[in-house]
Amino acid sequence: MAPPCNGLEEATGNSEGDIVREAILIDGKAFAERIRQDIRDDVAALRRDYALTPGLAVILVGEDPASSIYVRNKGEQTRAAGMQSFAHHLPAETSQNDLLHLINQLNDDNRVHGILVQLPLPGHVDTQAVLAAILPEKDVDGFHVINAGQLAVGQPALTPCTPLGCLMLLHDHLGSLRGKRALVIGRSTIVGRPMAQLLLTADCTVTIAHRYSTDLPSLCSEADIVVAAVGIPELVKGAWLKPSAVVIDVGINRVPARDPELAAQGKTRIVGDVAFEEARQIAGAITPVPGGVGPMTIACLLHNTVKAAKATLSRRNTGFRAA
Ligand code: GUN
């Protein structure tokens, strides 16, 4: 059944007979699968019509367990989309020069349309120097200052994947974002800053909150859209939210299991930056953690890689025009 247009799911009674309204759950997993299907179709058409197979190179330096899982998933999903995957797994002690040398090789490799260096890098490597070495047109992470600058002035750019995924979810749920009050909590270069730029370009009135912002509850209470990307478990409380707000939770935080016995055994669970159970009683719609924003990030990485590959066709003057 289609949701009612006020953004709230049907009212239901709880055990005390009170009316309880629960937020719509924004299903990032299902949406990401739709994007991946479109990408598979796009890739098949590029191969058939232009003999072009988009290629993504992913560089991992070191053995960080979470990064290793992300990188493995990126490779698997790249191949599943019909693209070429080039994995470069380097030891943690790799020198900055060797890393820059590899990036130069990938910049010159015509089979590679996108290059991603998994972050964080080991401490002896200058992350900014590494990101700056990637050709902007192959920077599918959108972290190069050229891409960040183009985004900031509202020009077409390769856009960081997580905020791009959040924007897609917002458009899918709300349609136009024009005139909405948006609060972005967090100002990282990976999520918060580019998210704010994207929302501004979508004609929102944007506030960026960060560790020195005062009175976060009152900022939240005015927001039609809240994007929480701050890495603090369950920071945003349900009571702070405007009823019917759309809440996008980017946080992935590991905390002790709810059951004290399990917690004592070291068992953990994953929570977002929003106190989900409270928030879903107030918000109009909310992304769950996991299953909300997370699956969108790799889908957007594949999307950016196809975009970068299509741009090479435009440059080759094949008559192809990127949408
Ligand atoms: N580490 C955490 N998120 C990201 C991301 O989006 N891109 C890269 N390259 N590294 C990350």
Output the six-digit token pair for 72: 């493995």
**pLDDT, tens only, 137-190:** 999 999 999 999 999 999 999 999 999 999 999 999 999 999 999 999 999 999
**pLDDT, tens only, 102-117:** 999 999 999 999 999 9
pLDDT band at 2 (very low <50, low <70, confident <90, very high): very low
* Domains within the chain, CATH numbers bracketed: 51-138 (3.40.50.10860), 160-295 (3.40.50.720)
Decide: 220 and 210 in contact? Cβ < 8 Å: no
Decide: 160 and 191 in contact? Cβ < 8 Å: yes
* Amino acid present at 180: K
Ligand 1 centroid – CA 43 distance (Å): 23
**Residues at CB less than 6 angstroms from ligand 1:** 116-119, 141, 161-162, 190, 297
Output the six-digit token pair for 112: 């590679």
User: What's the pLDDT at 312?
Assistant: 97
Known catalytic membership, residue 118: yes
Q: What is the mean pLDDT of the chain?
A: 93
Whose tokens are 């990030």? That residue is 297
* CA 145/CA 313 separation, integer angstroms: 24
pLDDT band at 82 (very low <50, low <70, confident <90, very high): very high
Residue nearest to atom 3 of ligand 1 (CA): 119
* Amino acid present at 189: T
Pocket test for ligand 1, best of 131, 140, 141, 189 (most atoms within 8 A of CB): 141
Ligand 1 centroid – CA 119 distance (Å): 5
**pLDDT, tens only, 270-319:** 999 999 999 999 999 999 999 999 999 999 999 999 999 999 998 876 66
| Cα first-last separation, the chain | 33
Ligand 1, atom nearest to 160 Cα: 6
| Secondary structure percentages of the chain, helix, strand, coil, to 5 | 40, 20, 40
User: What's the pLDDT at 21?
Assistant: 76
Ligand 1 centroid – CA 316 distance (Å): 30
Known catalytic membership, residue 138: no
Q: Coil, helix or strand for 283?
A: coil
- In the chain, which ranges are E strands? 12-13, 19-20, 24-25, 55-61, 84-90, 114-117, 181-185, 205-209, 225-228, 246-249, 253-256, 268-271, 285-286
**pLDDT, tens only, 211-269:** 999 999 999 999 999 999 999 999 999 999 999 999 999 999 999 999 999 999 999 99
Cis peptide bond N-terminal to 120, omega within 30: yes
Pocket test for ligand 1, best of 74, 119, 300 (most atoms within 8 A of CB): 119
Known catalytic membership, residue 74: yes
User: What's the pLDDT at 321?
Assistant: 67
Pocket test for ligand 1, best of 140, 190, 252 (most atoms within 8 A of CB): 190
